[in-house]
Each structure stands twice: as structure tokens, then as C-alpha cells.
């Protein structure tokens, strides 16, 4: 009732102890207008905020396809015969393991895998190569870690870069990704274009566009 009273014209509220039918009718009209939507209530609205996330993820399904294609080529190529060359994927650990007879054939094996990954749309920046290690029967082995999430030091580089551009947006680290917020989408697109021009040494995607 107090909310309704605040919407009644001031001149109708300034009459004290007036019980005339005329005043009652005027107040009743104001209340009916409020109830029927005839009075417009203006609400303060917050400025709309647009955001997107800078992430680093690898599509394991595409990695698996690349491994299968690489395995097929290895079994068919003459230069790999007798080398026991293999490429295996551990999806849980997000690692690839290359095994072959020597470091010379390891290079060829790596080239085959990289070609298949590129064809499947997997960036080579998402690969982190471990040391070449000796394995059974004078063979060698190498483990490749698939990038998942932006490392904290890289996230800090990205945030600093965005701040240094002087574009009017806000960048913050949220776990293993960076969130960028701005008032309009054009500004966010400008930031994305600038990030694409910079090499941070990792594979990045720009996802989760939202308006808040």
C-alpha cells in the first residue's frame, strides 16, 4: 500500500483529513491506473556487460582421429617396417606416446603425427614434448603432453597484454582461463583481433560470449 501511495500525485496527498467524495474519487482513479498498468514505473537499469573467455582446450576426438590415421600410414610405409613404431593416446592423462627403433625414425614418426594433427584442426602449439628416453630392445620413447587450460604464467601475460592495449575492457584470471568484459561487442572483437596477432606460445580459443 505504501508503494501505491508513493505513485499518487503529490497534490492529492497534501490534503489532510479531507474525506470529501471528490478527493476519494481522485485517489481511487490513481490507484486503478496503477493496478491496470496506466502508470509507468521507471526502473534504474545497470549497464549491459558483454564477456568472452580466452581458453585453451584440445579436442580429444580429433586427436584420436589423427592417431588412427597416423597408425594406418605407419603400417603401410616401407621405411617404418621392422621399427616397431607406435603412436598411442592416453585420453585420461591427455598424453601421446611415440615409440620407435631410433631417434632417426622418431623424427619421421613425429612428422607423420604432426601432419595428421594439423589436418584434423589440432594446433601444434597444444603439444608439449618431453625428453626422448631409452626403452626396451634399444628403442626410444617420447611422451607428448596435450595442453589443457592456460598455465597461470601465460594467463598473467595475457591479462597484462590486454591492459597494455589501453582498450576499455577488464581482464581477469578465472582458474585455467581468462575472462574479458566490456560494454560492447565491437570492443571485445577488437581485443580478440589483438590477441590473435600476439604469439603467447600456446593454442587459444575465444568462447562463451555472454551478455549480462
DSSP structure string for 175-188: TTEEEEEESSHHHH
54: left (phi over 0), alpha (psi -120 to 50) or beta: beta
Domain residue limits, the chain: 2-36, 50-56+150-211, 60-146
pLDDT in tens, 92-146: 999 999 999 999 999 999 999 999 999 999 999 999 999 999 988 789 999 999 9
User: For residue 5, is pLDDT > 50?
Assistant: no
Report the mean per-residue pLDDT for the chain.
85
- Interatomic CA distance for residues 210 and 212, integer angstroms: 6
Give the integer Cα–Cα distance in Å for 1 and 175: 48
Under a CB-based contact definition with an 8 Å cutoff, are residues 86 and 162 in contact?
A: no
CATH value of 50-56+150-211 in 3.90.1150.10, 3.30.70.860, 3.30.420.40, 3.40.1280.10: 3.30.70.860
- Per-residue model confidence (pLDDT) at position 32: 59
**Identical fold, 50-56+150-211 and 60-146:** yes
Can you give the pTM of this predicted structure?
A: 0.71
Question: What is the CATH code of the structural domain delimited by 60-146?
Answer: 3.30.70.990
Nearest 5 degrees, angle CA 168-CA 171-CA 175? 170
Per residue in 40-83, pLDDT tens? 434 444 457 899 999 999 999 999 999 999 999 999 999 999 99
- Pick from 191, 201, 163: nearest CA to 51: 191
Amino acid at each position: 500500500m505504501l508503494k501505491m501511495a508513493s505513485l499518487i500525485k503529490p497534490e492529492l496527498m497534501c490534503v489532510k483529513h479531507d474525506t470529501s467524495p471528490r478527493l476519494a474519487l481522485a485517489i481511487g482513479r490513481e490507484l486503478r491506473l496503477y493496478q491496470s498498468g496506466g502508470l509507468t514505473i521507471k526502473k534504474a537499469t545497470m549497464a549491459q556487460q558483454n564477456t568472452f573467455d580466452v581458453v585453451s582446450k584440445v579436442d580429444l576426438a580429433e586427436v584420436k582421429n589423427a592417431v588412427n590415421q597416423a597408425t594406418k600410414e605407419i603400417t603401410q610405409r616401407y621405411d617404418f617396417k621392422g621399427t616397431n613404431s607406435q603412436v598411442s593416446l592416453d585420453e585420461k592423462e591427455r598424453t601421446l606416446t611415440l615409440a620407435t627403433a631410433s631417434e632417426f625414425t622418431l623424427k619421421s614418426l613425429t612428422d607423420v603425427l604432426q601432419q595428421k594433427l594439423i589436418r584434423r584442426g589440432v594446433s601444434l602449439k597444444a603439444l608439449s614434448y618431453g625428453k626422448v628416453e631409452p626403452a626396451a630392445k634399444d628403442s626410444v620413447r617420447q611422451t607428448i603432453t596435450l595442453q589443457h587450460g592456460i598455465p597461470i604464467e601465460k594467463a598473467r601475460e595475457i591479462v597484462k597484454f590486454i591492459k597494455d592495449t589501453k582498450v576499455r575492457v577488464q581482464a581477469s584470471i578465472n582458474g585455467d582461463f581468462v575472462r574479458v568484459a566490456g560494454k560492447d561487442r565491437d570492443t571485445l572483437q577488437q581485443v580478440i583481433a589483438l590477441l590473435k596477432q600476439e604469439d603467447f606460445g600456446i593454442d587459444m580459443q575465444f568462447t562463451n560470449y555472454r551478455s549480462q
